[in-house]
Amino acid sequence: MFKKLSQKVQVGVLAICSLATSITVILIIIFLFSEGISFLGMKPTEEGYVLAVNTKNNLNSISPELCKKVFDQEVDNWSQLGEKDMPIELVNSDQIATLYSEEAIGSEMEYLDTCYNDYVSKHVGVFAVMPKNYVTSKFKGRVVEVQENSIASFVRGREWFPTAKPIAQFGILPLLMGTLIVSLGAILIALPLGLACAIYMSEIAKKRRRKIMKPLVELLAGIPSVVYGFFGLIVIVPLIQTLFHLDVGETALAGSIILGIMALPTIITISEDALRNVPNAMREASLAMGATKWQTIYKVVIPYASSGITTATVLGIGRAIGETMAVLMVTGNAANVTLNYLKPVRTIPATIAAELGEAPSGGIHFKALFALGCILFLITMSINLYVNFVSKRRGVK
């Protein structure tokens, strides 16, 4: 009787634990996505400001990217926006203040709205940034809508200036590229090295040496990532700087090297397991045909272990993509759209870590970081699904 009860209690406790874990995971995902998705549909204009043009102008809405170009004066003629050929006159409060006499504006700037109204109604080519509360029924200009953030503008946008005024830029292309090239570089470094190491440990090293190497490799996995970051900053970054005669050594290459080192334990241990799982009968069959040890390794052992090696690689990439601290410390964190490994780049996790502290909670920047988190989550989740798929296929074989 008592035994039965205690058994039931045990089962109950286990069930609650697993339920709690699952619910936590689901809650985190829901939280991430609800914050991230609400980023879409927000407008990247500075809080409390609007854009206005002359009523003769037909412009109704403008994309954040174009808008930034206008403010950077890369676009300085209305014809580039599909309007009549005339120069764009940018004005903001400061300029209005210099264009009108002190009398007209008033000592406390209390008539600034009238000046705006006057200026916008008289100049056909005007493009004005003005406080929202100046737009009243008396206003003789027209307000231009800034287009909302969309998945397309988010994923394709080439600029990431989350705090730019009056229009912030939320294009993640540079961050995505940064993440991808750093991870790709890491794998290009870690895969040959890790595979070589795994082959040595499983096929060549004597038992004694393997017994020393294996714990060392596992130790590598246990080093905190800031320590890798320090190592990168003190050793790798200066090395790259002098080696390639660069102004700054904080580059994508530095990130790739550090991430490559960090991915090594995953790649080595998993592919070594895969290699050691190759039945000895396969090696004997090959050797008995007169194949050399190397032929046996390349033509029989590695192909036999290939799905395990793929898993190792993909998990290594997964680790590299999500890694934050070390990358933040060595890549220079400039949001560049580049394929040049000798330029600074900025990755998604590093962006989140670096900017979350300064983004006002609940604001558009804050939400944009959550949206970045969603993207990162989708990437790592697809990697995990792929690994599952590969290992299942191996299970069938």
Partner 1 sequence: MIQIKNVNFYYKDFHALTDITMQIPDKAVTAFIGPSGCGKSTLLRLINRMNDLIDGTRLTGNILVEGQDIYDKKVEVEELRKKVGMVFQKPNPFPKSIFENVAYGLRVQGMKNETEIKDRVEDAIKKAALWSEVERILNNNATNLSGGQQQRLCIARCLAVEPHVILMDEPASALDPISTAKIEELVLDLKSKYTIVIVTHNMQQALRISDHTAFFYLGELVEYNTTHDIFHNPAQEKTKNYVTGQFG
Which residues make up the interface to partner 1 (CB under 8 A)?
Answer: 206-207, 279, 281-292, 295, 299-300, 303-304, 397
3-state secondary structure of 329: helix
- Read off the tokens for 86: 């005339």
Return the number of the residue (290 or 357) whose C-beta is nearest partner 1: 290
3-state secondary structure of 396: helix
Return the number of the residue (4 or 207) whose C-beta is nearest partner 1: 207
Return the number of the residue (279 or 357) whose C-beta is nearest partner 1: 279
- Spatial CA neighbour of 132 closest among 93, 78, 89: 93
- Spatial CA neighbour of 312 closest among 256, 264, 278: 264
Rounded Cα distance, 186 and 320, in Å: 7
On the 0-12 / 13-18 / 19+ scale of CB atoms within 10 A, 230 is middle
Nearest distance from C-beta of residue 311 to partner 1, angstroms: 17
Return the number of the residue (222 or 279) whose C-beta is nearest partner 1: 279
Nearest distance from C-beta of residue 213 to partner 1, angstroms: 17
Among all chains, which residue has been given the structure tokens 């969603």? 374
Nearest distance from C-beta of residue 387 to partner 1, angstroms: 21
Return the number of the residue (253 or 300) whose C-beta is nearest partner 1: 300
Nearest distance from C-beta of residue 347 to partner 1, angstroms: 39
Nearest distance from C-beta of residue 360 to partner 1, angstroms: 58
Rounded Cα distance, 134 and 316, in Å: 56
H or E stretch covering 53: strand 49-54
- Characterise 41 by phi-psi region: left (phi > 0), alpha (psi -120 to 50), beta (else): left
Nearest distance from C-beta of residue 279 to partner 1, angstroms: 7
Nearest distance from C-beta of residue 209 to partner 1, angstroms: 12
Return the number of the residue (123 or 394) whose C-beta is nearest partner 1: 394
Which residues are CB-neighbours of 71 under 8 A, at least 6 positions away? 90, 166, 167
Nearest distance from C-beta of residue 281 to partner 1, angstroms: 4
Alpha-helical segments (H) within the chain = 2-39, 64-71, 93-99, 102-105, 112-122, 151-156, 173-199, 207-222, 225-231, 237-243, 252-276, 280-288, 293-296, 302-304, 306-322, 325-330, 348-355, 364-396
Nearest distance from C-beta of residue 280 to partner 1, angstroms: 9
- Spatial CA neighbour of 91 closest among 99, 83, 79: 99
Return the number of the residue (152 or 288) whose C-beta is nearest partner 1: 288
Nearest distance from C-beta of residue 309 to partner 1, angstroms: 15
Return the number of the residue (122 or 393) whose C-beta is nearest partner 1: 393
Return the number of the residue (284 or 358) whose C-beta is nearest partner 1: 284
Calculate the alpha carbon distances from 187 to 42, 156, 190, 260 in Å. Answer: 37, 25, 5, 6
Are 240 and 249 in contact, with CB atoms under 8 Å apart?
Answer: yes
